[in-house]
Amino acid sequence: MQEYDIEFKNKRANDIRMYVVKRPNIPAPRKRYREYDIPGRDGVCYENEETVDDVEIGVEFNFMEKPDKWFGAFDKAKEWLLDGSGKLKFGDDKEFFYKVKKVEIDTAERVCYEIGRFTATFFCGGYRYFESGEKEYREIKYNPGKTSHPIYKVKGTGECVLSVNGKEITAIVQDNLTIDTDLMIAYREDKTMTNTAVTGWYEDMYLKPGENNISISDKFELKIIPRWRCL
């Protein structure tokens, strides 16, 4: 029987001889609502803000090492887990991932001279992302998940109009331009920031659930990283 595993920052736990004790419990994200008290009405009124809170996912690990190498094994775990953010994937859900913002590790329990155990808590954005949504596509017509914040990569020179579901932004392109609607920035392939090259609202370029209609001015090439996601 194959052992259950997780992958973080493109490295599997088993690759460094860390083993998941049991399948973790995955919490559902809480949707955010704005509350209003309206005189003359019973109770509280809620307005959906169309955003979700982060989630915390605890994963329990154990490892086995010779007593004189025990601390070295735990150091490898800390180096893997505590060094920045990245993708978190579970062995029984390989087509999706979470975006981890930070990781915390509790005290390592020395069960015996050779066996250690600890819990890592992954602080993640509330959405679960499609692995297929990280690829580049020349054409996108359908979003299988919730509203997504894509990246648009434009090739060409001059003024172009990018249209998504009837809403438009205008961009001045010199050879290439990348428009990241999640970070709300625009830049060239050499990472030169060019926010002033874009006129319009990044939010208008989001992909809605279901059918979408995307077009760009003639003589420009467009590629899309859709970043499909679900709850």
**Can you give the pLDDT at residue 111?**
78
Average pLDDT, the chain: 92
Torsion from C-alpha of 108, 79, 84, 117, nearest 10 degrees:
-20
Give the DSSP per-residue string, 143-211: E-SS-B--EEEEEEEEEEEEEETTEEEEEEEEEEEEEETTTTEEE-TT--B-GGGEES-GGGGPBPSEE
Name the residue among 139, 137, 133 with its Cα closest to residue 99.
Answer: 133
Q: What is the pLDDT of residue 2?
A: 57
d(CA 58, CA 53): 16
73: helix, coil or strand?
A: helix
Is beta strand 11-12 parallel, antiparallel or unpaired with respect to 6-8?
antiparallel
Q: What is the pLDDT of residue 39?
A: 83
pLDDT attached to residue 112: 77
Separation in Å, CA 144 to CA 129, 149, 231:
11, 13, 12
CA pair distance 97, 99, nearest whole angstrom: 7
Does the pLDDT of residue 202 top 60, yes or no? yes
Tell me the pLDDT tens digit for each residue of 113-150.
Answer: 788 899 999 999 999 999 999 999 999 999 999 999 99
Structure tokens at 119: 């819990």
Give pLDDT, residue 47: 77
Among 64-73, 150-159, 220-229, the minimum mean pLDDT is found in 64-73
Model pTM score: 0.89
139 exposure class (CB count in 10 Å sphere: 0-12, 13-18, 19+): exposed
pLDDT at position 1 = 44
